[in-house]
């Protein structure tokens, strides 16, 4: 068949085909871009090097953020390894990285866990973790799982332990108490101090034996004062079996009156 009718049918077919192609093209463009391991490694190198050009780093952050994968999240975490001057640029880049990691959702949790085991500071990864995990119980479990990988032995940089134990203040529970108590005996004085502070924030008198042991054995006057002041603030009843130990271990300025520690 020839003529206008045939031309019209051909036009309809072409329009239908174009509609299908447009639909497929649109769907394809809506998907996050896929990148090879080689490309992700290249972008990761840019983020890990403070000598990279600002424009190149920002472009790398944007590309990785659009991917929304665990691999991209692991690469973005590298930007938290170092500090850039001026500080405002450093803050902006790290906030952009945070948004990119959060975009990966729970797929980013495993890279965050791995990163926390070797990072010099956990300030940013803990921010990211809290932004991804909204449920408090799950957030506490994530922090406890990371803390579980640390022990009380000497480490060159104890800051990650301090930051983790400090973050657990927000999630008082029996699990937090039992996980933090061993760190009263850590080799690092700041870790021991933070552990005592977190235990008082948990506010469970079952910590008394561990805190009294620390009060007796710790040579740091700062920690002795922290524990003594915590006992005053919480007004916990000192059981008779611990009374003698508390009396002997209290630093100057504190005393046991009856079954309570008082100042003065």
* Confidence check: pLDDT of 17 > 60: no
pLDDT in tens, 53-71: 999 999 999 999 999 999 9
For the chain, which residues make up each domain, given as ranges? Answer: 39-131, 153-264
Cα–Cα distance, 119 to 129 (Å, whole number)? 14
Q: What's the average model confidence in pLDDT over 31-49?
A: 83
Find, among 159, 158, 130, 157, the residue nearest to 142 by Cα.
130
Locate 49 and state its tokens.
Answer: 């090097």
Locate 20 and state its tokens.
Answer: 């299908």
Torsion of CA 188, 189, 195, 196, to 10 degrees: 160
Find, among 88, 82, 80, 85, the residue nearest to 108 by Cα.
80
Cα–Cα distance, 264 to 244 (Å, whole number)? 18
Cα–Cα distance, 191 to 26 (Å, whole number)? 53
* Confidence check: pLDDT of 201 > 90: yes
Residues contacting 194, CB < 8 A, separation 6+: 161, 162, 165, 166, 183
Locate 241 and state its tokens.
Answer: 């079996």
Q: What's the average model confidence in pLDDT over 22-44?
A: 66
Q: What's the average model confidence in pLDDT over 175-186?
A: 98
Question: Domain 153-264 class?
Answer: mainly alpha
Least confident of 41-50, 92-101, 180-189: 41-50
Global pTM reads 0.84
- Cross-strand pairs, 257: 260
Cα–Cα distance, 94 to 124 (Å, whole number)? 8
pLDDT in tens, 208-219: 999 999 999 999
Residues contacting 175, CB < 8 A, separation 6+: 140, 144
Q: Give the model's confidence band at 15: pLDDT under 50 very low, under 70 low, under 90 confident, else very high.
A: very low
Q: What pLDDT, on the 0 to 100 scale, is given for residue 36? A: 85
Q: Give the model's confidence band at 264: pLDDT under 50 very low, under 70 low, under 90 confident, else very high.
A: confident
């Amino acid at each position: 068949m020839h003529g206008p009718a045939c031309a019209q049918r051909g036009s309809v077919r072409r329009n239908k085909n174009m509609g299908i192609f447009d639909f497929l093209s649109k769907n394809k463009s809506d998907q996050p871009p896929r990148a090879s391991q080689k490309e992700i490694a290249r972008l990761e190198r840019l983020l890990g090097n403070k000598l990279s050009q600002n424009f190149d780093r920002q472009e790398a952050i944007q590309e990785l953020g659009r991917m929304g994968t665990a691999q991209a999240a692991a690469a973005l975490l590298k930007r938290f390894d170092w500090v850039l001057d001026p500080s405002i640029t450093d803050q902006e880049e790290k906030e952009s990285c945070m948004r990119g990691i959060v975009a990966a959702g729970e797929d980013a949790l495993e890279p965050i866990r791995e990163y926390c085991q070797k990072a010099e500071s956990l300030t940013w990864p803990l921010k990211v973790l809290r932004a991804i995990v909204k449920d408090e119980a799950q957030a506490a479990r994530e922090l406890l799982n990371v803390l579980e990988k640390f022990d009380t032995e000497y480490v060159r940089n104890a800051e990650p332990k301090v930051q983790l134990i400090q973050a657990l203040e927000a999630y008082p529970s029996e699990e937090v108490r039992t996980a933090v108590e061993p760190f009263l005996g850590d080799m690092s004085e700041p870790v021991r101090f933070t552990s005592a502070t977190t235990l008082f924030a948990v506010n469970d008198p079952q910590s008394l034996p561990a805190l009294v042991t620390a009060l007796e054995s710790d040579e740091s006057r700062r920690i002795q004062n922290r524990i003594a002041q915590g006992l005053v603030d919480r007004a916990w009843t000192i059981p008779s079996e611990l009374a003698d130990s508390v009396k002997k271990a209290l630093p100057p300025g504190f005393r046991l009156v009856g079954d309570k520690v008082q100042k003065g």
